[in-house]
Amino acid sequence: MRDVAIIGVSQTKFGELWDSSFRDLIAEAGVKAVMDAEVEGDDIEAMYVGNMSSGLFVDQEHIAALISDHMGLNPIPTTRVEAACASGGLALRQGIMAVASGFHDVVISAGVEKMTDVVDATPAIATASDQEWEAQQGATFPSLYAMIAKRHMYEYGTTREQLAQFSVVNHKNAKNNPNAQFPFEISVDKVINSTMVADPLTLLDCSPVSDGAAAVVMVPAEDAKKYTDTPIYVRASAQASGTIALHNRKDLTTIDSTKVASRKAYEMAGVTTKDIDLAEVHDCFSINGLLAVEDLGFAEKGKGGIAIEEGQTEIDGDFPINPSGGLKARGHPLGATGIAQAAEVVWQLRGDAGKRQVDGAEIGMTHNIGGTGGTAAVHIFGRDLE
């Protein structure tokens, strides 16, 4: 199989974008990625798009054909991939496979979600959980993650303040991200005293309902320098499935799919956690960011809270997490998140991340979760191939 390089990335502003329709968002992300890659639209040979629930959010399925039509990409193969909030990560992976295999040479993987055109996004989001065993019984995502948080606090002594601190660091980073939904700082007190959502999680532990899109353009590694002086290489692409419902888990405080996918990714890339200069992790709730710190191997199980409290996840810490602001503060348009994570890592590895730049970053990771861990996609990128 061929090695793969990313030559162009983009992200729209994330937020409540009342003036942008579903197709506006994808058009903006697509055009910006193609321009960043300095290719022509005609060069694109295939497209994958990650999207969780355009059917429930905007009454539109068949979106890959819609996008292809709207963007003038016909008649190339265009395919939607769905895995709840990991849809973007899986679209990225399918695009990588399409190039690695030799099926196609120039592939665009995008992600998009338009969530604000419905009165209440919660029922649509709940379809990422087990409908029969969770959603229909009244469990929403905040409540599922709240149970995980309670258990983590009980088993490991994780504190309310440590959880809150994860959001605080995200916001601190987002301040320097022009595409972030919430580019301003918050405090631990503010998090703890914000509206209760599902005990112990308050409003500021939760990622928002967002509109947005992102895209990456990929080519075979051997061709990358023809397009750009700063290609970023895909070192690993791994995906794993885990139990979709919480009641089936041996351990509530571990996301097995994250562990399996990340171990596989480390092996593929020939690196260990210590080699990762920054990671964009899936903090749909503060507790999930904390679990990622542990399950990806940055901290021992049960020590994630302490690592966050000690500042190890900050941009100048031992293992910078979410320099973009993460799902919490960059925003979380579900299907776009996995692609936006990759875009951030590419900007970081190019050294183009401005005031949120992780100094000398050479290897970066993305971690994208569906539901409460039914799906995990982990990617590792590098400035070099080895």
Minimum separation from the CB atom of position 244 to a copy of itself (A): 5
Contact 12, 217 (CB under 8 A): no
Minimum separation from the CB atom of position 253 to a copy of itself (A): 18
284 among known catalytic residues: no
Among 60, 122, 137, 272, contact with a copy of itself (rule: CB under 8 A)? 60
Contact string 124-163 vs a copy of itself (x = CB under 8 A): x--xxxxx---xx---------------------------
State the Cα–Cα distance between residues 161 and 164, nearest whole angstrom. Answer: 5
Out of 104, 152, 282, 332, which one is annotated catalytic? Answer: 332
Which residues from 84-113 bind a copy of itself, rule CB under 8 A? Answer: 84, 90, 93-94, 97-98, 100-103
370 is a contact residue toward a copy of itself (CB under 8 A):
yes
CA of 61: how far to CAs of 47, 65, 81, 82, in Å? Answer: 16, 9, 11, 11
Q: Give the interface segment with a copy of itself, choosing from 75-83, 171-179, 217-225, 284-292 (CB under 8 A).
A: 75-83
Specify the pairing of strand 278-280 against strand 232-241: unpaired
End-to-end CA distance of the chain: 15
Contact 218, 99 (CB under 8 A): yes
Out of 85, 104, 206, 379, which one is annotated catalytic? Answer: 85
Q: Cis omega (within 30 of 0) on the bond before 75?
A: yes
Minimum separation from the CB atom of position 259 to a copy of itself (A): 9
State the Cα–Cα distance between residues 175 and 192, nearest whole angstrom. Answer: 20
State the Cα–Cα distance between residues 286 and 159, nearest whole angstrom. Answer: 12
Q: Which residues are at the interface with a copy of itself (CB under 8 A)?
A: 1, 52-53, 55-56, 58-66, 68-69, 73-84, 90, 93-94, 97-98, 100-103, 123-124, 127-131, 135-136, 239-245, 248, 256-257, 260, 370-371, 374-375
**Which residues are tagged catalytic?**
85, 332
